[in-house]
Amino acid sequence: MDLISRHYSTRTVNTIVHSTNPMRFTDGEGHAWLFLKLREDELDAKQGPDQVKDTLHIISQHCASPRWSINLDASEAFIQAALAMHAVASLMGEGKAFIERLEMMVREPISTSHQTEGTSVGGWEVVDGKTWFAGRFQNLAELIKHEDIWAVQRDGEVGGYIVALPDPQTGRIYISDLFIFPEYRHQGLGRTLLRHVLAGANNSKWQVWLTVFCSNEGAREMYLAEGFKVERQHVVMGST
């Protein structure tokens, strides 16, 4: 979760960090973010210790922001306790908030002799996408300072892109975004971009991490087929 919070805290200018434990900040677009990772042996929502109450209070306060998101890695008991709070339950009931379950996946580096080929398809080629991305998404141009961005291109048209945050200190890469424009889907472009990043990670012997919504069955199947394994599950809640 540390790489996820780093991605969201550095993707815009003028981010204001409110605390680091838990990680809580407001990005340059006024979106409030909260990242909570709770050890199950320390927090038991059924017992209601002071630490649980304090954490639930933080969640309740956070939901008062006009635009907010919470990434919560905790026991199912704690998740249900959070959802039962009036501040959260009322927003859910009014359709002003959502909850989605995410899977965090990891892929270990493999020998280059066993590496899956395929970093181009149907005339599409993977190119450095930083300049294009900064022009297309000016509000997120700050990303190009911290993350690698690759685009799949053919005849001057960009069909999609992948954004990856490298962490040399721990030998990890976090794929923060993989997007194919609707008119170019079902041509293998997503897999082409993914394999491009995986090839670089294999050469460096780095782990690759990503998150995927459990409801996104197509993406989940692709990641599993490319060697990813589910590390754990957590939830994201936020304003609609």
Q: What is the pLDDT of residues 198-215, one digit of tens each?
A: 999 999 999 999 999 999
Joined tokens for residue 138: 């000016």
The DSSP letter of residue 27 is -
pLDDT per position as a tens digit, 153-172: 999 999 999 999 999 999 99
State how far the Cα of 231 lies from the Cα of 1, in Å rounded to an integer: 12
| 110-205 is a CATH 2.40.128.280 domain | no
Q: In this predicted structure, what is the pLDDT of residue 161?
A: 98
Domain boundaries, the chain: 2-103, 110-205
pTM value?
0.88
Q: What percent of the chain has pLDDT over 70?
A: 91
Identify the band that residue 110 occupies on the pLDDT scale cut at 50, 70 and 90: confident
Q: 11-32 in b/e burial notation, b at 16+ Cβ within 10 A?
A: bbeebeeeeeebbbbbbeeebb
In the predicted model, is pLDDT for residue 26 greater than 50? yes
SS3 label, residue 113: helix
